[in-house]
Amino acid sequence: MEIINKDIDQYAAQHSSEENELLKQINRDTHAKVMMPRMLSGHLQGRVLSMISHMIKPKRILEIGTYTGYSALCLAEGLSVEGKLITIDVNEELETRVRGYFAAANLTDKIDYLIGNAATIIPTLTGEFDLVFIDADKEQYSKYYDLVIDKVKPGGIILADNVLWSGKVLDAKPDKDTRAIVEFNNKIQADARVENVLLPIRDGIMMIRKLSL
């Protein structure tokens, strides 16, 4: 199911700021040369991530699920002057390509790109984050949330992608990944530590603000 009417989606993209040349190139390269290009955030969602990041001006961003680096570069656009972004992906096959893009953006010193299983790496990370983007394997969304919530500053934001899962969250007999997403959405909705809004952008983004309790 398409969440947003295709023509409306196109209209929204046409009336949103353009991607820079490097992002356009990553978008093109990913579609031409990388498996499962649908995973890339893309123009409209990328601009949303950039806008949110600019509003927060984060000192520290954590991204779970780098893929070809598109969303990492969008999020990095809003980093404060001394800010850093950590991004984690288990797929070492994309490493050379992604490091090349980060170098082309002159962000090698701002981005820590960690290869490995996020569930193993996150507990080793110290310090707090202003912004977290969860966009890796759907089965582990709830686990990633549990691992990061205490590392997020009060007032900090967690974004989780694909929370509408092509509309399958409404299925009467959901498959395994869909069940994981539904459980994640219900968990957030019931968590008194946060406020949340589910944005029906692209495949759905859950925007979560940690309360100062």
Ligand X SMILES: C[S@@+](CC[C@H](N)C(=O)[O-])C[C@H]1O[C@@H](n2cnc3c(N)ncnc32)[C@H](O)[C@@H]1O
41 near ligand X (CB under 6 A):
yes
Rounded least distance, CB 126 to ligand X, Å? 19
- Give the number of C-alpha atoms closer than 13 A to the C-alpha of residue 68, restricted to the C-beta side: 24
Judged by CB under 6 A, the residue of 23, 52, 62, 88 near ligand X is 88
Rounded least distance, CB 118 to ligand X, Å? 4
For residues 59 and 85, give the distance between their C-alpha atoms in angstroms, rounded to a whole number.
Answer: 8
Label residue 189 exposed, middle or buried (CB < 10 Å: 0-12, 13-18, 19+). exposed
145 near ligand X (CB under 6 A):
no
For residues 63 and 75, give the distance between their C-alpha atoms in angstroms, rounded to a whole number.
Answer: 9
Nearer to ligand X, 19 or 135 (CB): 135
118 near ligand X (CB under 6 A):
yes
Judged by CB under 6 A, the residue of 39, 48, 56, 76 near ligand X is 39
Size of the site for ligand X (CB under 6 A): 17
Judged by CB under 6 A, the residue of 67, 102, 129, 141 near ligand X is 67
Sheet hosting strand 129-134, strand order edge to edge: 111-115, 84-89, 60-64, 129-134, 152-161, 205-210, 194-199
Judged by CB under 6 A, the residue of 19, 23, 27, 40 near ligand X is 40
89 near ligand X (CB under 6 A):
yes
Judged by CB under 6 A, the residue of 137, 171, 183, 191 near ligand X is 137
65 near ligand X (CB under 6 A):
yes
Judged by CB under 6 A, the residue of 3, 22, 90, 125 near ligand X is 90
Query: In 133-167, which positions are buried (b, 16+ CB within 10 angstroms) versus exposed (e)?
Result: bbbbbbebbbebbebbbebbbeebbbbbbbbbbee
For residues 19 and 77, give the distance between their C-alpha atoms in angstroms, rounded to a whole number.
Answer: 11
Six token digits for residue 20 = 């820079």
Contact set with ligand X (CB under 6 A)? 39-41, 65, 67, 70-71, 88-91, 117-119, 135-137
